[in-house]
Amino acid sequence: MKKKNIIVISIILLVFVFSLWIDITGFKVANKPLEQLSGIEAFVKPRLGLDLHGGVRFVLEAEDTKNVKVTPEAMQTTLEVLKKRVNNLGLSEAVVVQEKGANWRRIDVELPGWKDPEKAKQLIGQTALLQFKDESGKVVMTGAHIKDARLAFSKDPQTLGQPIIEFKLDAVGTKQFAKITQENVGKKIAIYLDNKLLMSPVVKQPITDGEGIISGGFTKEQAAEYAALLRSGALPVKLKFLSEEVVGPTLGSHSVKMAGIAAIIAILLIFLYMIVFYRYLGLIASIALIFYLTLEISLLLLLHATFSLPAIGGAILSLGMAVDINVIVFERMKEELSAGKSIKAIISAGFAKAFRTVFDSNLTVLIGAIILFYLGTGVIRGFAITVSIGILSGFFSGVVVTHALVNLMLPPSATKRPWLFGI
């Protein structure tokens, strides 16, 4: 039994050290730009929510037009296009979610750290429909088959160094483009983006490799933005901006400070409560809770969870649930102590009798969190994720870690010193 407990403690220590290293690494690089981070640093860098980092939040709603009706399938495509667009902005913490129920046509977009809401609206809401038209004005091809589009610089002596867009087509688009250019040799093919003429070159020879360029007197920034829009694809439906909210970085940093203070106060009060009411057992529980906090934060970093005020609230709530496990177990141990049992029997019976209650209470909260995640949007999902991870971490900490520590740290003579149990 002693050997088994040593093995369990060794595993717990390894998990603790690994989790602590992840936590330290993550928070050490929290304010460093992504381009300056190594692979592991970028992977564990904390994702701060809009309320902590500042930025903009939009609510968009899809509208029916004469030509296009909004359907669930179109909304799913719209959601994917918007996700690609915000990812092309370089914001790994961005949130793009579709609302549920009666508001299923609405999409919430959060861009933490973004400082120009008007530019964001232009990039997010632009349809980005690319069309190739022949000399008669007939649309002979769209940008639906563009596989990639990148900012480049012209190598033509007449326009040397000017920003252009290089694009590549997929297999279907390559065949289609080859046929179109072959049929229009010596003629013009105009290229439009959202009905705005970008260029109207003369086709000199068939283009069969599926590659081409788009030029239009772009600035470097315009070419990069257009390329990002083309990579993301065109929106299948028209979007209307319902609301816009800007959160300044000053408010975000203040929120971070206040949330940190609230979390520290909550943790210290919990530690104080456990030690005052359960004495030595409370000290053991506090050590287990330190392990729990370290594990939970590392899991949140590894799973790329977004840290927001509701998420921090969920973490504090789950900390209370983790403490509740210890309270239930210790009360059962007090009952066994009053029955005059040995220390080994007290520990074993205390955890065994408390397990069902602990399991049921945590399971009900976990089910509620899963429902919130499924039905919720944005920060509600962040809250649900944090609570779920906290519940699972707290259950492991309370049932496994505390049990192992009690077996290791509670001496056989403890039955003669009931004050160790808080009696």
The string of pLDDT tens digits covering residues 356-409 is 888 998 899 899 989 988 777 666 777 888 899 999 999 999 889 998 998 888
pLDDT tens by residue, 195-233: 888 888 888 889 999 998 888 778 888 888 888 888 877
What is the C-alpha to C-alpha distance for residues 93 and 220, in angstroms, rounded to an integer?
Answer: 25
DSSP structural state of residue 401: I
Give residue 68's pLDDT. Answer: 80
pLDDT tens by residue, 7-19: 888 999 999 999 9
Between residues 132 and 41, the one the model is more confident about: 132
Q: Where are the CATH 1.20.1640.10 domain residues in the chain? A: 2-44+248-421
Q: Summarize the confidence of residues 400-421 as an average pLDDT.
A: 81
Is residue 2 within 8 Å of residue 405, measured between CB atoms?
A: no
DSSP structural state of residue 400: I
Between residues 239 and 309, the one the model is more confident about: 239
Q: Summarize the confidence of residues 54-74 as an average pLDDT.
A: 86
Give residue 86's pLDDT. Answer: 80
pLDDT tens by residue, 167-179: 999 999 999 999 9
Does the structure show a pLDDT above 60 at 92? no
Q: Is-above-0.85 flag for pTM?
A: no
Write the DSSP assignment of 318-386 as a string of letters.
HHHHHHHHHHHHHHHHHHHHHTT--HHHHHHHHHHHHHHHHHHHHHHHHHHHHHHHHH--THHHHHHHH
Give residue 187's pLDDT. Answer: 92
Q: What is the dihedral of CA 31, 36, 39, 43, to 10 degrees?
A: 20
Give residue 1's pLDDT. Answer: 52
β pairing state of 306-307 and 47-48: parallel
At which residue do the structure tokens 């899991």 appear? 299
Q: What is the CATH number of domain 2-44+248-421?
A: 1.20.1640.10
How many residues can be counted in the chain? 423
Helix (H, G, I), strand (E, B) or coil at 96: strand
Q: Which helix (H) or strand (E) holds 219?
A: none
Give residue 422's pLDDT. Answer: 64
Q: Summarize the confidence of residues 243-259 as an average pLDDT.
A: 72
Amino acid identity at 390: G
Q: Mean pLDDT score of the chain, rounded to an integer?
A: 84
Is residue 198 within 8 Å of residue 214, measured between CB atoms?
A: yes
Amino acid identity at 331: E
Share of the chain above pLDDT 70, in %: 94
Does the structure show a pLDDT above 80 at 336? yes
pLDDT tens by residue, 269-324: 888 988 888 888 889 999 999 999 999 999 988 888 877 778 878 888 888 888 88
| Class of domain 50-246 (CATH, top level) | alpha beta
Q: What is the dihedral of CA 271, 272, 273, 277, to 10 degrees?
A: 110
Does the structure show a pLDDT above 70 at 194? yes
Does the structure show a pLDDT above 60 at 251? no
Quote the distance between the C-alpha of residue 177 and its chain's center. Answer: 39
Give residue 219's pLDDT. Answer: 85
Q: Where are the CATH 3.30.1360.200 domain residues in the chain? A: 50-246
Give residue 183's pLDDT. Answer: 92
